[in-house]
Amino acid sequence: MQLATWNVNSLAVRLPQVLDWLAANPVDVLALQETKLTDDKFPAAAIQAAGYSVQWFGQKTYNGVALLSRTPAEAVTKNLVGLDDVQARVIAGTVAGVRVIGAYFPNGQAPDSDKFVYKMRWQDALHDWVREELAQHPQLVLMGDFNVAPDDRDVYDPIGWMGQIHCTPEERAQFQRLLALGLTDAFRLFEQPIKSWSWWDYRNLAFRKNQGLRIDHILVSSALKPRVTACLIDKLPRKNERPSDHAPVVVTLEEV
DNA sequence: ATGACTCCCAGTGGGAGA
> How many other β-carbons are positioned within 10 Å of the β-carbon of residue A110?
12
Question: Helical H runs in A91-222?
Answer: 114-136, 158-161, 169-180
- DSSP characters for chain A? -EEEEEE-S-HHHHHHHHHHHHHHS--SEEEEE-----GGG--HHHHHHTT-EEEEE--SSS--EEEEESS--EEEEES-TT----S--EEEEEETTEEEEEEE----SSTTSHHHHHHHHHHHHHHHHHHHHHHH-SSEEEEEE-----SGGGBS-HHHHTTSTTS-HHHHHHHHHHHHTTEEEGGGGS---SS--SEE-SSTTTTTTT-EE--EEEEEETTTGGGEEEEEE--GGGGSSS--SB--EEEEE---
Distance A23 CA to B12 C1' (A): 40
Residues of A serving a catalytic function are 104, 145
A38, closest nucleotide (Cα–C1'): B8
User: Tens-of-pLDDT digits for all 256 residues of chain A?
Assistant: 999 999 999 999 999 999 999 999 999 999 999 999 999 999 999 999 999 999 999 999 999 999 999 999 999 999 998 899 999 999 999 999 999 999 999 999 999 999 999 999 999 999 999 999 999 999 999 999 999 999 999 999 999 999 999 999 999 999 999 999 999 999 999 999 999 999 999 999 999 999 999 999 999 999 999 999 999 999 999 999 999 999 999 999 999 8
Q: Count of residues for chain A?
A: 256
Decide: CB of A185 under 7 A of nucleic strand B.
no
Amino acid A235: pLDDT: 97
- A158-162 LR contacts (CB < 8 Å, sep 24+): A161/A213
Distance A142 CA to B8 C1' (A): 28
Three-state secondary-structure class, residue A147: coil
Three-state secondary-structure class, residue A207: coil
Decide: CB of A240 under 7 A of nucleic strand B.
no
> How many other β-carbons are positioned within 10 Å of the β-carbon of residue A40?
6
Decide: CB of A204 under 7 A of nucleic strand B.
yes
Amino acid A82: pLDDT: 87
Is residue A15 packed enough to be buried (19+ CB in 10 Å), middle (13-18) or exposed (0-12)? middle
Task: Report the sign of the C-alpha dihedral through residues A223, A248, A190, A197, in that order.
Answer: negative
A242, closest nucleotide (Cα–C1'): B6
Amino acid A147: pLDDT: 98
Decide: CB of A147 under 7 A of nucleic strand B.
yes
Q: How far is CA A75 from CA A72, A91, A184, in A?
A: 10, 11, 24
Amino acid A207: pLDDT: 96
Q: How many CA atoms lie within 13 A of A251 on its CB side?
A: 30
